[in-house]
Amino acid sequence: MIRLSDLPSDVQESVARTRDKVAALHAELPRNELVVWTAGNVSERVQISPHADGVPSLFVIKPSGVSYDELAAENMVVCTLDGEKIEDGTPDRLRPSSDTAAHAYVYRHMDGVGGVVHTHSTYATAWAARSEAIPCVLTMMADEFGGDIPVGPFALIGDDSIGRGIVETLRGSRSPAVLMAQHGPFTIGADAKAAVKAAVMCEEVARTVHFARAYGEPPRIDQEQIDSLFDRYQNVYGQ
């Protein structure tokens, strides 16, 4: 069993920073009305020096079934990329999120991903319930997602089936969000903050397109324009 206290001091410090960040970002989920009760989770890959020989890759994730009001850095769970909790100083009763296997699979198979978020936000989950992609009919969708928000396959919780579906759907896609069929949205990012932003934006466009369709089918933006908008937003927009 890996003990956090046995790892090099710089790794322990990186874990502590990641726990602080992940705990703080969980507050964004209820604040943005993306979750109810204890549903949903945020995780982030721990940044470890490539020169740290023998140190396993790790990520930090929310403990299962704990109220958002009770979440703090000290009860964030630390896992290996196999989804196994290490001896991280938290009580044994604090098990990792039920979605840990999915997060771990994404980290193992998508090297550029540093953060993963899962919610059951109402409108995005409604699209997932229909197993229907959200069409790119808004410039903000082109900016953030680079096209439609795709649908992933139906998969049961408990093993890495959901993770496989996420990777299969998003590999080669510009979208940082996937709607897992009859389940809900998962988002990825370079870090957890980027993945949380994608989750917020996913729900916003899911709601807007839902309302737009009440008045008829909105036209999809031409692919050439989507490409131009995505390039500008990703490479020019902001400071």
pLDDT computed for residue 29 by the predictor: 98
Q: Active site includes 20?
A: no
Calpha distance 39→45 (Å, rounded): 21
Dmax (CA) for the chain in angstroms is 61
Q: Which residues pair with 85 in a beta bridge?
A: 79
pLDDT computed for residue 107 by the predictor: 98
Catalytic-role residue among 20, 68, 143, 191: 143
Q: Active site includes 118?
A: yes
Q: Active site includes 183?
A: yes
pLDDT computed for residue 200 by the predictor: 98
Angle (CA) 217-154-216 rounded to 5° is 5
List the one residue out of 77, 79, 81 whose CA is nearest residue 111. Answer: 81
pLDDT computed for residue 158 by the predictor: 85
Lowest mean pLDDT among 2-16, 20-34, 48-62, 70-84: 48-62
- Global model pTM greater than 0.95: yes
pLDDT computed for residue 161 by the predictor: 98
Q: Is the pLDDT of residue 239 over 80?
A: no
Angle (CA) 91-99-202 rounded to 5° is 125
Catalytic-role residue among 6, 10, 82, 237: 237
Catalytic-role residue among 120, 191, 210, 227: 120
Q: Kind and range of the H or E element at 118?
A: strand 115-118
Calpha distance 117→185 (Å, rounded): 8
Structure token pair of residue 215: 């008045």
Confidence label for 53 from pLDDT (cuts 50, 70 and 90):
confident
Q: Is the pLDDT of residue 65 over 80?
A: yes
Residue tagged 């993306």 (tokens): 34
pLDDT computed for residue 238 by the predictor: 74
List the one residue out of 121, 111, 230 whose CA is nearest residue 174. Answer: 230
Q: Which residues pair with 235 in a beta bridge?
A: none
Q: Active site includes 143?
A: yes
Q: Active site includes 120?
A: yes
What value does the mean pLDDT take over residues 55-63?
97
The answer to whether residues 56 and 2 touch, using CB atoms and an 8 Å cutoff, is: yes
Query: Tell me: the pLDDT tens digits for 175-211?
Result: 999 999 999 999 999 999 999 999 999 999 999 999 9
Structure token pair of residue 176: 């940082």
What value does the mean pLDDT take over residues 53-70?
95
Catalytic-role residue among 26, 103, 118, 160: 118
Calpha distance 115→190 (Å, rounded): 6
The number of angstroms, rounded, from the C-alpha of 47 to the middle of its chain's C-alpha atoms is 17
C-alpha distance across the termini of the chain, in Å: 45
Calpha distance 169→171 (Å, rounded): 6
Per DSSP, the three-state class of 165 is: helix
